[in-house]
A and B are shown apart, each in its own frame.
Chain A
Amino acid sequence: MTDTTMPPPEDRPAWGERFRRVATNGRLTAVLILLPPALILFTLFVILPLGESGWYAFYDWNGYGTPEDFVGLRNFEQMAGHSVFATAVGNTVKIIVVSLLVQMPLALFLALLVYRKTPTNAAFRLIFFVPYIMAEVAAGLIWSFVFDGNYGVTASIATTLGIERFFVLADRDLAFYAVMTVIVWKYFGFHMMIYIAALQGVPEDHIEAARIEGASRPQIVRHVQIPHIRPAIAVSAFFAIIGALQVFDLIIPLTNGGPSNQTQTIVTYLYEFGLTRLRIGFGSAVGVVLFVAAVLVAVFYQRIFMRKGTP
């Protein structure tokens, strides 16, 4: 006690001492080695492009040199006045409506049929999930065959009924219904899987208790199971909406946006009128609109569903 020098108080070492400790126990080194790769990659390829789309959006620019031709809000005005953009937004809304009113109920219904762990159910779950793991482009190509009036299902139907062959994807009024069919086919399995995971977490004794009290199957579904999986339904709605904003890959092989731009979505519109025509400024403006839409959906989702104490 007397022959050793007292160390400085533990909580207030001299600054130099503190720095030496931090450096030698590897904490600082760890931060400096492990964190920068993520920060650099993320900044370079996510944040900067995002910021730049907010910058380019106010210029008329073909992508060469630096943007100099400042046009203010003209890109946005042009977009707002373009009937094809209105169609694209309308189509996106249609996809959202079909996802919420057709796809999700279908997925929930099927989830209720197959959520119990039996071999038969497992087989059906597997089959229903297959479209989801396939690339959108492949799915689009396959369905462009199915809808081909000369070769596919529609051809078979026409032959069976003895009517003239018809071309759904070339029909201005029908083409988008075909697209929405493919969307339901492609994604209902994903939503179903979300519900299944949630349904398997509903305590069996709650269901049993309701049954003992004489509740029928539909009543159990309505009053026990669905309330229990509400967070999962919210999540799946969120993904349906965010997904609808991004539809692109499916459209290209199916219709390429046609006939006469009837099946454009926001992203195909961005690609067609921004990139292929090298109107980087205009395309960036479309990107900004898409970004704002996505953020609004995310904020809306948080407000509505996170507030109610769901995890």
Chain B
Amino acid sequence: MTGPHVWRNVARISLLLVVASFVLAPLWATVMGGFKTNAEIRTSAFALPDTWNLEVYGSILADAAFWRYLGNSLLISCTAVVLTLLVGSAAAYVFAQIRFFGSEFLFSYLLLGMMFPFATAILPLFIKVRDIGLLDTYWAVILPQTAFGLSLAILLFRTFFQQLPKELFEAAYIDGCGYVRFFLRFTLPLSTPILATVGVFVFVQSWNNFLLPLVVLNSREVFTWPLGMMQYRGEYVTQWNQTLAFVTLSLVPAVVFFLAAQKYIVAGLTGGAVKG
């Protein structure tokens, strides 16, 4: 390696470290904040704590409400993922495999959901959910989330299904395998990469969603974690160590999930978005 190259690389790495510290400093202060007293946060927000005080974190972990919020979110997100994958792939399969009068029209119709933001229709959605009698239930969040996720899911699924080898279907068809059975026995098992990508996308969207639960959920028993977090913040307005510990613990599942499924998450959140 020659001199200029080394220096260029040193400059590059230092620059990246500066940006990395801009990204990580707030997160660091948050994690550390949970170990400190409020007086200590006040004087040194970024230093290591003088003594590692585990009380605040402990009290949150012992709080049933904290687990309740996470459990609610998990239930809602998982159901939304399963529903989106099932309903979306079924529809996409029809569009990929069967030509019928109006199929192009229906396909375009189902893609309309990608045209506009969720918030556009949030008030009528609130009225609708209320009139159906779903207000303050898990379904009030699950069903609209599924419906809004369908457009992208159907688009990505159809593209993927169309690329599956046609010979497979013809062979199965001659053996007497019908469309529905072929879908369940062959198409779905062969499509795990795209199912995973879309599943991760829907999960992250659902897990992080705030506006919809805020509008349709009222009681703390059904709160998702972002609502629970805001509630907690409201209760401990002046006690940052409590709030910061709560935020840290609430983010743990997302970070673990991200590290575990990194490949799919990056593909789902950027690749999926790009194709859309």
A contact set with B: CB distance below 8 Å: 25-27, 29-31, 33-35, 37-39, 41-42, 44-50, 52-53, 56, 63, 110, 113-114, 120, 124, 126-138, 141-143, 145-146, 148, 150-153, 155-156, 159, 185, 189-190, 193-194, 197, 232, 235, 239, 242, 245-246, 248-249, 252-253, 267, 270-271, 274-275, 280, 283-284, 287-288, 290-291, 294-295, 298
Indicate if the CB atoms of B270 and A155 lie closer than 8 Å: no
Known pairs A42-B110, A53-B124 / 18 extra A-B pairs, C-beta < 8 Å:
A30-B97, A38-B154, A41-B147, A44-B128, A44-B143, A52-B128, A114-B16, A120-B13, A124-B16, A128-B23, A133-B258, A136-B210, A189-B23, A193-B270, A275-B126, A275-B215, A283-B123, A290-B120
Indicate if the CB atoms of B178 and A280 lie closer than 8 Å: no
Which of B42-50, B53-61, B190-198 forms contacts with chain A? B42-50
Q: Does B75 contact A (CB under 8 A)?
A: no
7 closest cross-chain pairs (CB), A and B? A26-B178, A30-B179, A45-B147, A38-B91, A49-B121, A49-B124, A135-B208
Task: Give the nearest-CB partner of B47 in chain A.
Answer: A156
B178: chain A residues at CB < 8 Å are 25-26, 29-30
Indicate if the CB atoms of B262 and A50 lie closer than 8 Å: no
In the complex the two chains form, what is the Cα distance from A282 to B49 in whole Å? 50
In the complex the two chains form, what is the Cα distance from A134 to B38 in whole Å? 25
User: What is the 8 Å Cβ interface bit string for chain B, positions 114-130, against chain A (1 contact, 0 not)?
Assistant: 01111111111111101
In the complex the two chains form, what is the Cα distance from A155 to B148 in whole Å? 42
Indicate if the CB atoms of A287 and B123 lie closer than 8 Å: yes
Indicate if the CB atoms of B233 and A45 lie closer than 8 Å: no
- Residue total for B at the interface (Cβ-Cβ under 8 A): 93
In the complex the two chains form, what is the Cα distance from A137 to B231 in whole Å? 12
In the complex the two chains form, what is the Cα distance from A270 to B121 in whole Å? 11
A134: chain B residues at CB < 8 Å are 208, 251, 254
> How far, in Å, is B251 (CB) from chain A's closest CB?
6
User: What is the 8 Å Cβ interface bit string for chain B, positions 87-112, against chain A (1 contact, 0 not)?
Assistant: 11011011001101000001001101
Across the interface, B240 reaches (CB within 8 A) one of A138, A151, A245, namely A151
Task: Give the nearest-CB partner of B266 in chain A.
Answer: A193
Indicate if the CB atoms of A38 and B90 lie closer than 8 Å: yes
Q: Does B7 contact A (CB under 8 A)?
A: no
In chain B between 156 and 181, which residues have their CB closer than 8 angstroms to a CB of chain A? 178-181
A151: chain B residues at CB < 8 Å are 38, 41-42, 45, 240
